[in-house]
Amino acid sequence: MLATPEMSTYDEVNLFFDTAADRLGLNNGLREMLKRPWRELQVQIPVRMDDGQVKVFSGFRVHNGARGPYKGGLRYHSDADLEEVRALASLMTWKNVLMDLPYSGAKGGVQVDPWQLSMGELNRPTRRYTQNIIHLIAPNRDIPAPDMGTNAQTMAWMMDAYGQVNGHSPAIVTGKPVEKGGSLGRESSTGRGVSYLLQEAAKDMDMDLQGARVVVQGFGNVGSWSARLIQQLGCRVIGVSGVDGGVYNAGGLDIARLQDYQKMTGGVTGFTGGEAISNRELLELECEVLVPAAVDNVITTDNVDYIKARLVLEAANHPITPEVDRILSEGGVTILPDILVNAEGVIVSYFEWTQNIQEFHWEEGRVNEKLRKVLLRAYQEVRMRAMNEQITHREASFEIGVQRVARSVELRGFL
Ligand code: NAD
């Protein structure tokens, strides 16, 4: 199947899957089984708002894969729908297995704009959502985690709602506050992994990171930690943005100050340490490295001709369409794909889950050291396969993932 403009994100992720399945010569039965979701649940979430009105939100949870308990985040966003959650669950499947974690893939979503709600209006739907999917989740069945629009507090509410029925169960969610059994190092993990991979890729590409210009789209959990840790490598982070727009400073932004400013104002616009810039202008800045860390489908055929980076690190899920992936790769741009670049959250989630099961706490140094090991082993596997087979890093990543899940299906004797 060729990429077309009408394709949904789910179709696009399946296009990457199909390329891998073709190259691996998977038979039709196995291909269908791996491609389609194993299970999908849609639930209604009625919530009394602070003004007394009742609003009804839609929630979703999708399961995929054959390697162990389902594992994946929960997203709160006004555009979240079943099709998007399906695509993200599929990506989680290949990501978990690429990191060789003992998990299948999952994703959840609630169609709500969290930035418009009070704490009470966020707590109530989180509890109702948890109750509505409670028959599908358990520490050995499905373990949710935060994603866009959710955070450690959301996970603490989920753990509490689950615990009211099943007793104290910290291993039911990951990405919790440390006081509730969360792992040290979880919050910064995705940004930290982005900086580890940047160091490795720069070595392989002969790119000097001292003074290298880096642009980061999105300044939430992943974007702000990425910007901060990348700056510590000696790079100049010249532009960052949030949903309302961005800021630019050719000499490099002061990321610590910008984080303080965002804490006070809720965004990056109006920051006096740089000039205002739109999200479109941000993506088109002259730079060596581009880190999309916000939402999906931000680089499309409309703006691909203006992308100037040599290296793109996909910290967000599916920021690039398959057509753009082809255009940039043929133009000599190195793209490290989402299933490799933003896997750190789930790696540290795995560490958190194992700590909870053992009722034991690791020190942060141990978490970061083990994270680096797991991530760089995966990077080297991808790099070698890409080099040996003369394919892109994305093709290599999907091939490794699909091959491992196919093997697991065979070993379980499903077919
Ligand atoms: P977040 O909610 O903390 O931050 C999202 C950021 O993106 C905010 O700065 C927001 O202003 C910005 N944004 C939203 N819509 C935008 C738009 N249309 N244009 C530009 N900026 C926009 O989310 P996060 O946890 O940092 O997640 C970001 C991405 O990383 C998502 O794709 C998510 O799936 C992925 N991811 C997150 C984790 C994690 O551990 N948090 C792990 C793996 C992958």
- The per-residue pLDDT for 382 is 98
Q: List the chain domain ranges.
A: 37-180, 189-341
Angle separating helix axes 322-330 and 9-24, nearest 10 degrees:
60
Q: Distance between CA 50 and CA 159 in Å, rounded?
A: 23
Q: Distance between CA 130 and CA 76 in Å, rounded?
A: 13
Give the residue, out of 9, 173, 222, with the most ligand 1 atoms within 8 A of its beta carbon, to mutate for a pocket test. Answer: 222
Ligand 1 neighbours (beta carbon < 6 A): 146-149, 190, 217-223, 241-243, 279, 293-295, 315-317, 342, 345
- Give yes or no: 55 in active site: no
- The per-residue pLDDT for 88 is 95
Residue 142, C-beta contacts closer than 8 angstroms, at least 6 positions apart: 61, 63, 69, 70, 71, 106, 136
Q: Distance between CA 297 and CA 324 in Å, rounded?
A: 10
Q: Is 215 helix (H, G, I), strand (E, B) or coil?
A: strand
* Run means of pLDDT, 10 residues per run, the chain, 415 residues: 71 94 95 94 97 98 93 96 96 96 97 96 98 98 95 97 97 97 92 96 97 97 96 98 96 97 95 96 96 92 93 95 93 96 94 96 95 96 97 97 94 81
Average pLDDT in the chain = 95
Atom of ligand 1 nearest to the CA of 186: 40
> Same CATH topology for 37-180 and 189-341?
yes
Label the pairing between strands 236-242 and 245-248. Answer: antiparallel
Label the pairing between strands 289-292 and 213-217. Answer: parallel
- The per-residue pLDDT for 2 is 54
Q: Centre a 10 Å sphere on the Cβ of residue 124 and count the other Cβ atoms it contains.
A: 19
The CATH class for the domain spanning 189-341 reads: alpha beta
Label the pairing between strands 104-111 and 142-146. Answer: unpaired
**Distances from the Cα of 254 to the Cαs of 272, 283, 346, 399, in angstroms?**
10, 19, 29, 40
CATH code of domain 37-180 = 3.40.50.10860
Task: Output the CA 225–ligand 1 centroid distance in Å.
Answer: 11
Task: Spell 358-372 as b/e; 16+ CB within 10 A means b.
Answer: eeeebeeeebbebbb
Token digits of residue 51: 């003004």
Task: Output the CA 222–ligand 1 centroid distance in Å.
Answer: 6
- The per-residue pLDDT for 187 is 84
